[in-house]
Amino acid sequence: MSDATRSLRKLGDALLARPDEMMLEIGATGELLVARIRVVVAGLLLLLPLVNNLAGGTVAETLIGLAGAVTINVFAQVWLVLARRRRRFRWLPFATTTFDVTITTAVLVALAHNHLPSGLNSMVVWCGYVLAILVTALRSDGRTTLLAGALAVGQYGLLVAVVFLVAGSPERLISAEYGAVTVGNQVQRLILLAVAAAITMMVVYRMQRLVEMSGTDGLTRLPNRTWLMHRLPQMLDVVKRDGGSLSVAMLDLDHFKRINDELGQHAGDRALRHVVTSLRVHLEQGEQLVRLSGAEFVMVLRKPVGTAWERVDAIRRMLLEHPFEAERGGMPRRITFSAGIAGFPQDGQDLSRLLRRADQRLQTAKLEGRNRVVARDG
Ligand SMILES: Nc1nc2c(ncn2[C@@H]2O[C@H](COP(=O)(O)OP(=O)(O)OP(=O)(O)O)[C@@H](O)[C@H]2O)c(=O)[nH]1
């Protein structure tokens, strides 16, 4: 497989995969922003029937326009209420994306019904498709962009086919106000929609990579402090809502400074990566390892304190069995860690209290001689 094919496949996989928790959270705030923009735009649409009436439009036209604008406003309010309940409804971004595209098609159908060329040559309403595609970038989910692009191309392509069929002859598609509708300009519009979707997908992909980088430690590729500060409060919310246990273990490598001093900074880096690789293979489902800073790590376990202690202590013993070799054939060097564990809810209800308590117990473990795990006071 060539590099280009591999990159394209990677891009496709990343865009079609369910975004990770951090991206979903960012996407939920984006959905709320889109819902607010929709409410403002829908409010402005209420003015159009009035303008039409003042400009001499018929009462029937004004009433149809008013009914359409009111319907859009009702939906806009419903989407706003649902978007405020952050991530409660997984289907919401897909439903609102479908709504945004389909409402554009509905308006174009109404225009075409009134005057065939206006349905296909109205620039302002057609831009509704482009906007519906572009705002999916705020949802940070490539799947909604793909949905918007596919729906816009599909629905508009169908409308073009139906209008050409109904018109029968090219003369019926020429208008003084809207110009001539031709196959050429309609194909261009379809291509533009596909291009808008492709560019938006690139934006979403790059955004996802940036967020991933900001939450990842460069040396060990573990989630970092930013990730923890963002994700742990959400994990606590889930435990508070659904029940279950959660413990936080703070781990600090013992006398790590000596490794740097004796073997050098590069060997110190390799030692850190060695520790992470050794710990990682022993992580079980629901356990998360985070690099907090320097030689300090946090492990999040969906277990009560007692079981968490057993797990962390077992990991401590396993690390002892995997000494670090600074160079091939060199003297293996044992690396140990001390750890303090705090459990939710008894040791703290929020992230900072849990981390503070875990850190206090970690200091106790250091004072008591290192290479041990402490999960209780006194
Ligand atoms: N090689 C390397 N060293 C690091 C990195 N980050 C922090 N360190 C070093 O890790 C050491 C951490 O030292 P401390 O935690 O203060 O103390 P310690 O020597 O580990 O001793 P105790 O924690 O008291 O057991 C410091 O010497 C830092 O310079 C890194 O990314 N790479």
- Please give the full DSSP string across 183-203, using - where no structure is assigned: HHHHHHHHHHHHHHHHHHHHH
- What residues flank ligand 1, with Cβ below 6 Å? 219, 252-257, 260, 265, 268-269, 272, 294-295, 366, 370
> What pLDDT does 331 receive?
83
Strand partners, 86: none
Confidence of residue 172 (pLDDT cuts 50, 70, 90): confident
Domains of the chain: 3-214 (no CATH), 225-374 (3.30.70.270)
Q: Which helix (H) or strand (E) holds 329?
A: none
Nearest to 205 by CA among 28, 32, 5, 7: 7
pLDDT at 1 over 70: no
279 CA → ligand 1 middle, Å: 18
Residue nearest to atom 13 of ligand 1 (CA): 257
Name the percent of the chain in helix, strand, coil, to the closest 5. 65, 10, 20
Measure CA 114 to chain center.
42
Rounded Cα distance, 268 and 276, in Å: 12
Nearest to 260 by CA among 335, 323, 320, 315: 335
Confidence of residue 6 (pLDDT cuts 50, 70, 90): confident
Residue nearest to atom 24 of ligand 1 (CA): 255
pLDDT at 74 over 70: yes
Length of the chain in terms of residues written: 378
- Mean of pLDDT over the chain: 90
Nearest to 285 by CA among 298, 306, 302: 302
275 CA → ligand 1 middle, Å: 13
pTM: 0.72
Nearest to 31 by CA among 121, 91, 73: 91
Which ipTM score applies to this complex?
Answer: 0.96
Residues 18-39 have pLDDT tens digits of: 777 777 878 888 899 999 999 9
Under DSSP, the state recorded for 375 is: -
Confidence of residue 137 (pLDDT cuts 50, 70, 90): very high
Could you tell which of 222, 251, 252, 260 is best to mutate to test the pocket of ligand 1, judged by most ligand atoms within 8 Å of the CB?
260
Choose from 2-11, 41-50, 117-126, 304-313 the range with maximum mean pLDDT. 304-313
Choose from 244-258, 276-290, 320-334 the range with maximum mean pLDDT. 244-258
pLDDT at 330 over 80: no
Q: Three-state SS for 291?
A: strand
Mean pLDDT of 83-110: 90
Q: Alpha helix (H) ranges present in 115-182?
A: 116-121, 123-134, 136-139, 142-167
Residue nearest to atom 6 of ligand 1 (CA): 294
Could you tell which of 222, 256, 297 is best to mutate to test the pocket of ligand 1, judged by most ligand atoms within 8 Å of the CB?
256
Nearest to 205 by CA among 130, 131, 137: 137
